[in-house]
Chains A and B, each alone.
Chain A
Amino acid sequence: DSGVTQTPKHLITATGQRVTLRCSPRSGDLSVYWYQQSLDQGLQFLIQYYNGEERAKGNILERFSAQQFPDLHSELNLSSLELGDSALYFCASSPPTSGGLYRSSYNEQFFGPGTRLTVL
Chain B
Amino acid sequence: GQQVMQIPQYQHVQEGEDFTTYCNSSTTLSNIQWYKQRPGGHPVFLIQLVKSGEVKKQKRLTFQFGEAKKNSSLHITATQTTDVGTYFCAGQDSGYALNFGKGTSLLVTP
Q: Give me the interface of A with B, judged by CB distance under 8 Å.
A: 2, 33, 35, 41-45, 48, 50, 55-58, 90, 92, 106-114
Give the shortest distance, in Å, between B7 (CB) and chain A (any CB): 13
Known contacts: A42-B101, A108-B48. The answer to whether A56 contacts B95 by CB under 8 A is: yes
Known: A90-B43, A113-B42. A43 touches B103 (CB 8 A): yes
15 pairs across A/B with beta carbons < 8 Å? Answer: A33-B98, A41-B102, A42-B100, A42-B101, A42-B102, A43-B88, A43-B90, A44-B100, A45-B97, A58-B99, A106-B33, A107-B48, A107-B92, A109-B43, A110-B45
CA distance in complex: A71, B44 (Å): 25
Interface size grouping (class) on chain B: 20 to 34
Least distance between A110 CB and chain B CB atoms (Å): 7
**Chain B residue at minimum C-beta to C-beta distance from A90:** B42
Residue in A2, A42, A56, A106 with the greatest tally of chain B CB atoms within 10 Å: A42
A-side binding surface: helix, strand, loop or mixed? Answer: strand
Which of chain A's residues have a CB closer than 8 A to the CB of B31? 107
In this complex, what residue of B is CB-closest to A6? Answer: B42
Extra contacts, 12 of them, besides A57-B97, A107-B92, A113-B42 (Cβ < 8 A), are: A35-B100, A42-B102, A43-B103, A45-B100, A48-B96, A48-B97, A50-B96, A90-B43, A106-B48, A108-B33, A111-B43, A114-B42
Query: Is B96 in contact with A56, judged by CB distance below 8 angstroms?
Result: yes
Report the separation of the CA atoms of residues A42 and B43 in the bound assembly, to the nearest whole angstrom. 12
Q: Which residue of the partner chain B has the closest CB to A59?
A: B1
